[in-house]
Structure 1
Amino acid sequence: MSQIVDLPVSLRAYRALEEMIVTLELAPGSTTTEAALVERVSLGRTPVREAIQRLAWEGFLLVRPRAGLLVAPLEGTGWNKVLDARCGIEVVLARSAALAIQADAQRPFLQASEGMYAAAAADDDRAFLAADKAWDEALAKAADNPYAVRVAAPLQTHSRRYWYRYRRGSGLAQAANRHIAVIEAVLRGDAAGAEAAMGNLMDMLRQDAAAIMG
């Protein structure tokens, strides 16, 4: 996924564990311990503990006293519920980004689009996840709504986890095109177009979820 080596150590620990959860290296429904995670990420007990607390708050880990950590299972209808919660917030972010984007926020969008197209061409799921996260971070930077950003971020991660479990290996080109449509509208300052393009992207994800989850 995204490069994390230059981040503060606590955020590096969070990103490393987040990636393991999204890519199922920490399998849904499995158990682990703080000590085991410290060993896996090699970043020290304090930053890993902080990361565990954040991931627990976001719904990815369940901390069970004297019984270790439970990696959140993937529920049968979970992806639909995530998208129900996510849809309206994403439209708010897209509109806000189109109205407020500054020059220094444009390049991250373009880099994310390049990453998506390259991942789709290579049929590389992990690279697409990295580009998708970069895209979400570019949208967050461009949008003038920190409250929506804070709500959206864990929902985006939950959605990536479901996508990686159920839909990876298919539809990367279509997904890239719908993300790029949002970027193009944002970069030209077209708030209505950004809303519509984001709605189309959410519709595609809903169709994916419906096909798998029912």
Structure 2
Amino acid sequence: MGKYLGMDHPTASFPYTIPKRLNALSRPRRGFIEASDGPGYTQSGIRKSALNGQPSDRVNDIAWPWLRRLILVKKMYRNKFDQERLEKLDRMIEASNATLYSKLAHCTVDLKKPQEGKEIKKKKGWSESDWKKHMDYLAMVAAPKREFQPPPVKRGKSVPLEALLPRIKEISSPADFKCYRRQSKEVWYKDPIKVQPAALKYQITDRTKKLAAPRSLHEG
């Protein structure tokens, strides 16, 4: 690589052009020590940089257990854990409650309010007016259902059977269906190919003869 931040032209040993950008990126940072043996590992095979690295705040926040699980654990083992362990569990609940992920999931809890021993409101008994409304409703529901009869059918004036017999006989007789046949069998049919007899006896007029005579055309 070149000593200046410029472009290196191809040489006999390296027949490629090295741009200015690669020369700038190839310069080592301050305090960087290049080791020939590569990154260091412990005897168990863990990279030393992984042990010395510091996680970001996002990784620390997401590493905390779910807030609801911590609260359930505290309720289940509050009579079995000692005071020191319960205080440690309270600190874990506070840390998990303050994370960004708990706020985004809308599962944060107001720790200042007492979570245990809430006062249970007793149900208020019914008054006389409530019982009266309830009994009126039961009487309305217990009433038999109303039957809705269909409206009567409006019919015409009645006629004796003897007056209807002629029409009944007419309707009961089978209908006369039209028998279709060829057009050539019809009376009004005219054969387009056959010459009519009247045309053979036709006598042309003088006017027709005059029009049928050929005209003389001018020569040239």
TM more than 0.5: no
For the aligned pair, the TM-score class normalised by the smaller chain equals under 0.3
Give the TM-score, by structure 1 length.
0.20
Give the TM-score, by structure 2 length.
0.20
Which of the two has greater helix per residue? 1
Higher relative contact order at CA 8 Å, sep ≥6: structure 1 or structure 2?
Answer: 1
Which of the two has greater strand per residue? 1
Q: Which has the larger radius of gyration?
A: 2
